[in-house]
Amino acid sequence: MSLYIVFLLAVIQGLAELLPVSSSAHVILAQYLMGYDPSRPDMTFLLVMLHTGTMFAVLIYFWSRWKKIFSDREEFKKFIKQILIATIATGILGFGLKILIEKVFLERIMGVEKGEIEHLFKMLPLIAGCLFVVGLLIIYAGLKKTSTTNQQMTNKEALWIGLSQGLVLPFRGLSRSGTTISVGLLLGKGRQICEEFSFALAVVLTPPVILRELKRFMETRTSDMSLTSMMVPGLLGAVFSFVAGLFALKWLSSWLENGKWHFFGIYCLTFSVVVAAVSYYH
Protein backbone atom coordinates (compact mmCIF):
# COMPACT_ATOMS: atom_id res chain seq x y z
CA MET A 1 0.00 0.00 0.00
CA SER A 2 1.47 3.33 -1.04
CA LEU A 3 2.14 6.18 1.38
CA TYR A 4 -0.26 8.35 -0.62
CA ILE A 5 -3.13 5.93 0.02
CA VAL A 6 -2.29 5.73 3.72
CA PHE A 7 -2.15 9.53 3.96
CA LEU A 8 -5.46 9.97 2.12
CA LEU A 9 -7.29 7.41 4.28
CA ALA A 10 -5.73 8.87 7.44
CA VAL A 11 -6.90 12.40 6.67
CA ILE A 12 -10.39 11.15 5.83
CA GLN A 13 -10.46 9.09 9.02
CA GLY A 14 -9.02 11.83 11.21
CA LEU A 15 -11.54 14.41 10.05
CA ALA A 16 -14.61 12.19 9.78
CA GLU A 17 -13.97 10.17 12.96
CA LEU A 18 -14.18 13.20 15.21
CA LEU A 19 -16.76 15.08 13.22
CA PRO A 20 -20.25 13.58 13.53
CA VAL A 21 -20.35 12.34 9.93
CA SER A 22 -19.30 8.66 10.29
CA SER A 23 -15.62 8.07 9.63
CA SER A 24 -16.14 4.42 8.74
CA ALA A 25 -18.60 5.31 5.97
CA HIS A 26 -16.09 7.75 4.45
CA VAL A 27 -13.11 5.40 4.74
CA ILE A 28 -15.07 2.40 3.43
CA LEU A 29 -16.33 4.39 0.43
CA ALA A 30 -12.79 5.67 -0.26
CA GLN A 31 -11.43 2.11 -0.07
CA TYR A 32 -14.22 0.90 -2.32
CA LEU A 33 -13.56 3.57 -4.97
CA MET A 34 -9.83 2.84 -4.86
CA GLY A 35 -10.46 -0.87 -5.40
CA TYR A 36 -9.69 -2.08 -1.88
CA ASP A 37 -11.89 -4.55 -0.01
CA PRO A 38 -12.71 -2.81 3.32
CA SER A 39 -13.38 -6.17 5.00
CA ARG A 40 -9.86 -7.47 4.29
CA PRO A 41 -7.80 -8.05 7.46
CA ASP A 42 -5.04 -5.64 6.40
CA MET A 43 -7.56 -2.88 5.69
CA THR A 44 -9.40 -3.34 8.98
CA PHE A 45 -6.00 -3.33 10.73
CA LEU A 46 -5.13 -0.02 9.08
CA LEU A 47 -8.51 1.37 10.13
CA VAL A 48 -7.75 0.37 13.72
CA MET A 49 -4.40 2.19 13.60
CA LEU A 50 -6.16 5.28 12.26
CA HIS A 51 -8.62 5.01 15.17
CA THR A 52 -5.61 4.89 17.50
CA GLY A 53 -4.34 8.19 16.13
CA THR A 54 -7.69 9.90 16.62
CA MET A 55 -7.97 8.47 20.16
CA PHE A 56 -4.73 10.22 21.12
CA ALA A 57 -6.03 13.42 19.49
CA VAL A 58 -9.06 13.21 21.78
CA LEU A 59 -6.86 12.68 24.85
CA ILE A 60 -4.69 15.70 24.04
CA TYR A 61 -7.61 17.96 23.11
CA PHE A 62 -9.84 17.23 26.12
CA TRP A 63 -7.18 16.69 28.76
CA SER A 64 -7.31 20.25 30.11
CA ARG A 65 -11.10 19.99 30.53
CA TRP A 66 -11.07 16.52 32.10
CA LYS A 67 -8.26 17.56 34.46
CA LYS A 68 -10.66 19.98 36.15
CA ILE A 69 -13.01 17.06 36.85
CA PHE A 70 -10.15 14.87 38.09
CA SER A 71 -9.07 17.55 40.56
CA ASP A 72 -12.41 17.30 42.41
CA ARG A 73 -12.64 13.89 44.11
CA GLU A 74 -16.42 13.77 44.26
CA GLU A 75 -16.83 14.97 40.68
CA PHE A 76 -14.22 12.45 39.55
CA LYS A 77 -16.03 9.55 41.27
CA LYS A 78 -19.34 10.66 39.77
CA PHE A 79 -17.83 11.04 36.30
CA ILE A 80 -16.18 7.60 36.38
CA LYS A 81 -19.39 5.99 37.64
CA GLN A 82 -21.39 7.48 34.78
CA ILE A 83 -18.75 6.46 32.22
CA LEU A 84 -18.94 2.89 33.59
CA ILE A 85 -22.76 2.89 33.44
CA ALA A 86 -22.73 4.10 29.84
CA THR A 87 -19.93 1.72 28.79
CA ILE A 88 -21.60 -1.33 30.34
CA ALA A 89 -24.86 -0.43 28.61
CA THR A 90 -22.95 -0.03 25.34
CA GLY A 91 -21.24 -3.39 25.79
CA ILE A 92 -24.41 -5.32 26.57
CA LEU A 93 -26.50 -3.86 23.77
CA GLY A 94 -23.66 -3.62 21.24
CA PHE A 95 -22.46 -7.19 21.81
CA GLY A 96 -26.03 -8.52 21.72
CA LEU A 97 -26.69 -6.80 18.40
CA LYS A 98 -23.38 -8.07 17.02
CA ILE A 99 -24.29 -11.68 17.81
CA LEU A 100 -27.79 -11.20 16.40
CA ILE A 101 -26.47 -9.71 13.15
CA GLU A 102 -23.75 -12.34 12.70
CA LYS A 103 -25.75 -15.44 13.58
CA VAL A 104 -29.21 -14.52 12.34
CA PHE A 105 -28.89 -11.91 9.59
CA LEU A 106 -25.57 -12.87 8.02
CA GLU A 107 -25.48 -16.64 8.51
CA ARG A 108 -29.15 -17.66 8.40
CA ILE A 109 -30.67 -15.00 6.15
CA MET A 110 -27.73 -14.01 3.93
CA GLY A 111 -26.17 -17.46 3.87
CA VAL A 112 -22.68 -16.34 4.90
CA GLU A 113 -20.67 -19.35 6.06
CA LYS A 114 -19.02 -17.58 8.98
CA GLY A 115 -20.76 -14.31 9.68
CA GLU A 116 -18.64 -11.43 10.93
CA ILE A 117 -19.79 -7.88 11.49
CA GLU A 118 -17.14 -6.76 8.97
CA HIS A 119 -19.31 -8.22 6.19
CA LEU A 120 -21.57 -5.18 6.65
CA PHE A 121 -18.68 -3.04 5.40
CA LYS A 122 -19.52 -4.16 1.86
CA MET A 123 -23.20 -3.18 2.05
CA LEU A 124 -23.21 0.36 0.70
CA PRO A 125 -27.03 0.66 0.60
CA LEU A 126 -27.10 -0.11 4.34
CA ILE A 127 -24.39 2.48 5.00
CA ALA A 128 -26.35 5.06 2.97
CA GLY A 129 -29.49 4.34 5.00
CA CYS A 130 -27.60 4.69 8.28
CA LEU A 131 -26.15 8.03 7.19
CA PHE A 132 -29.63 9.26 6.33
CA VAL A 133 -31.00 8.24 9.74
CA VAL A 134 -28.20 9.83 11.75
CA GLY A 135 -28.44 12.95 9.59
CA LEU A 136 -32.09 13.38 10.58
CA LEU A 137 -31.22 12.84 14.25
CA ILE A 138 -28.44 15.46 14.18
CA ILE A 139 -30.66 18.01 12.41
CA TYR A 140 -33.49 17.46 14.89
CA ALA A 141 -31.17 17.76 17.91
CA GLY A 142 -29.39 20.77 16.42
CA LEU A 143 -32.55 22.73 15.66
CA LYS A 144 -34.35 21.81 18.88
CA LYS A 145 -33.85 24.42 21.58
CA THR A 146 -31.63 22.87 24.23
CA SER A 147 -29.78 24.02 27.30
CA THR A 148 -26.39 25.66 26.97
CA THR A 149 -25.64 25.65 30.70
CA ASN A 150 -26.91 22.33 32.13
CA GLN A 151 -23.54 20.63 32.68
CA GLN A 152 -24.70 18.05 35.23
CA MET A 153 -25.20 14.51 33.96
CA THR A 154 -27.42 12.04 35.84
CA ASN A 155 -26.89 8.28 35.95
CA LYS A 156 -30.09 7.73 34.01
CA GLU A 157 -28.98 10.11 31.26
CA ALA A 158 -25.58 8.38 31.12
CA LEU A 159 -27.45 5.09 30.67
CA TRP A 160 -29.47 6.42 27.74
CA ILE A 161 -26.36 7.79 26.05
CA GLY A 162 -24.60 4.46 26.56
CA LEU A 163 -27.54 2.57 25.05
CA SER A 164 -27.57 4.89 22.05
CA GLN A 165 -23.87 4.21 21.55
CA GLY A 166 -24.43 0.46 21.76
CA LEU A 167 -27.22 0.70 19.20
CA VAL A 168 -25.05 2.35 16.56
CA LEU A 169 -21.77 0.44 17.08
CA PRO A 170 -22.44 -2.50 14.70
CA PHE A 171 -23.58 -0.25 11.86
CA ARG A 172 -21.25 1.71 9.62
CA GLY A 173 -22.79 5.05 8.72
CA LEU A 174 -24.40 5.64 12.11
CA SER A 175 -21.97 8.17 13.55
CA ARG A 176 -21.10 7.34 17.16
CA SER A 177 -20.30 10.92 18.18
CA GLY A 178 -23.20 12.30 16.15
CA THR A 179 -25.61 9.97 17.91
CA THR A 180 -24.33 10.29 21.48
CA ILE A 181 -23.99 14.08 21.39
CA SER A 182 -27.41 14.45 19.77
CA VAL A 183 -29.04 12.18 22.38
CA GLY A 184 -27.37 14.23 25.11
CA LEU A 185 -28.73 17.44 23.61
CA LEU A 186 -32.22 15.94 23.37
CA LEU A 187 -31.98 14.95 27.04
CA GLY A 188 -31.51 18.64 27.83
CA LYS A 189 -27.79 18.58 28.58
CA GLY A 190 -25.47 21.49 27.84
CA ARG A 191 -23.37 21.31 24.70
CA GLN A 192 -20.05 21.16 26.53
CA ILE A 193 -20.93 18.20 28.76
CA CYS A 194 -22.42 16.33 25.78
CA GLU A 195 -19.18 16.75 23.86
CA GLU A 196 -16.90 15.86 26.77
CA PHE A 197 -18.95 12.83 27.82
CA SER A 198 -19.23 11.49 24.27
CA PHE A 199 -15.49 11.59 23.66
CA ALA A 200 -14.68 10.21 27.11
CA LEU A 201 -16.77 7.18 26.10
CA ALA A 202 -14.79 6.99 22.86
CA VAL A 203 -11.48 6.81 24.73
CA VAL A 204 -12.80 3.93 26.86
CA LEU A 205 -14.28 2.14 23.87
CA THR A 206 -11.35 2.36 21.44
CA PRO A 207 -8.73 0.08 23.13
CA PRO A 208 -11.01 -3.03 23.19
CA VAL A 209 -11.87 -2.43 19.53
CA ILE A 210 -8.17 -2.18 18.68
CA LEU A 211 -7.40 -5.43 20.51
CA ARG A 212 -10.29 -7.20 18.80
CA GLU A 213 -9.17 -6.14 15.34
CA LEU A 214 -5.57 -7.11 16.11
CA LYS A 215 -6.81 -10.56 17.13
CA ARG A 216 -8.87 -10.82 13.96
CA PHE A 217 -5.91 -9.75 11.86
CA MET A 218 -3.66 -12.41 13.40
CA GLU A 219 -6.31 -15.10 12.86
CA THR A 220 -7.25 -14.26 9.27
CA ARG A 221 -4.07 -12.82 7.78
CA THR A 222 -2.45 -14.58 4.85
CA SER A 223 1.23 -15.48 4.52
CA ASP A 224 2.03 -12.14 2.85
CA MET A 225 0.43 -10.10 5.67
CA SER A 226 2.88 -9.96 8.55
CA LEU A 227 2.25 -7.72 11.52
CA THR A 228 5.65 -6.09 10.95
CA SER A 229 4.87 -5.18 7.34
CA MET A 230 1.57 -3.62 8.40
CA MET A 231 3.01 -1.62 11.31
CA VAL A 232 4.89 0.94 9.19
CA PRO A 233 1.88 2.15 7.16
CA GLY A 234 -0.24 1.74 10.26
CA LEU A 235 1.96 3.97 12.42
CA LEU A 236 2.26 6.59 9.69
CA GLY A 237 -1.50 6.54 9.31
CA ALA A 238 -1.92 6.98 13.07
CA VAL A 239 0.28 10.11 13.01
CA PHE A 240 -1.59 11.59 10.05
CA SER A 241 -5.00 10.86 11.60
CA PHE A 242 -3.84 12.37 14.91
CA VAL A 243 -3.07 15.72 13.26
CA ALA A 244 -6.28 15.69 11.24
CA GLY A 245 -8.20 14.71 14.38
CA LEU A 246 -7.02 17.75 16.35
CA PHE A 247 -8.21 19.99 13.54
CA ALA A 248 -11.57 18.20 13.41
CA LEU A 249 -12.14 18.57 17.17
CA LYS A 250 -11.62 22.32 17.01
CA TRP A 251 -14.10 22.46 14.13
CA LEU A 252 -16.68 20.36 15.99
CA SER A 253 -16.41 22.39 19.20
CA SER A 254 -16.80 25.65 17.29
CA TRP A 255 -19.94 24.56 15.44
CA LEU A 256 -21.49 22.87 18.48
CA GLU A 257 -20.98 25.92 20.71
CA ASN A 258 -22.20 28.33 18.02
CA GLY A 259 -25.45 26.52 17.26
CA LYS A 260 -24.35 25.02 13.93
CA TRP A 261 -24.69 21.36 14.96
CA HIS A 262 -27.50 20.73 12.45
CA PHE A 263 -25.17 21.49 9.53
CA PHE A 264 -23.41 18.20 10.21
CA GLY A 265 -26.77 16.48 9.79
CA ILE A 266 -27.33 18.16 6.46
CA TYR A 267 -23.93 16.90 5.36
CA CYS A 268 -24.82 13.33 6.43
CA LEU A 269 -28.02 13.46 4.37
CA THR A 270 -26.09 14.70 1.35
CA PHE A 271 -23.38 12.09 1.76
CA SER A 272 -25.99 9.34 2.08
CA VAL A 273 -27.16 10.22 -1.43
CA VAL A 274 -23.56 10.02 -2.68
CA VAL A 275 -23.06 6.57 -1.12
CA ALA A 276 -26.38 5.36 -2.54
CA ALA A 277 -25.39 6.63 -5.99
CA VAL A 278 -22.03 4.88 -5.86
CA SER A 279 -23.76 1.68 -4.77
CA TYR A 280 -26.26 1.91 -7.64
CA TYR A 281 -23.78 2.69 -10.42
CA HIS A 282 -21.16 0.20 -9.28
Q: What is the DSSP string of the chain?
A: --HHHHHHHHHHHHHHHHTTT-HHHHHHHHHHHTT--TTSHHHHHHHHHHHHHHHHHHHHHHHHHHHHHHTSHHHHHHHHHHHHHHHHHHHHHHHHHHHHIIIIIIIIIS--SS--GGGGGG-HHHHHHHHHHHHHHHHHHHHS---SS-----HHHHHHHHHHHHHHTTSTTS-HHHHHHHHHHHTT--HHHHHHHHHHHHHHHHHHHHHHHHHHHHHH--TT--HHHHHHHHHHHHHHHHHHHHHHHHHHHHHHHTT-HHHHHHHHHHHHHHHHHHHHH-
Q: Give the pLDDT confidence score for residue 263 in this predicted structure.
A: 96
Q: Give the pLDDT confidence score for residue 107 in this predicted structure.
A: 77
Q: Give the pLDDT confidence score for residue 29 in this predicted structure.
A: 83
Residues in the chain with pLDDT < 50? none
Percentage, residues of the chain above pLDDT 90? 46
Average pLDDT value for the chain: 87
The pTM of the full predicted model, rounded to 2 decimals, is 0.86
Q: Give the pLDDT confidence score for residue 224 in this predicted structure.
A: 64
Q: Give the pLDDT confidence score for residue 223 in this predicted structure.
A: 64
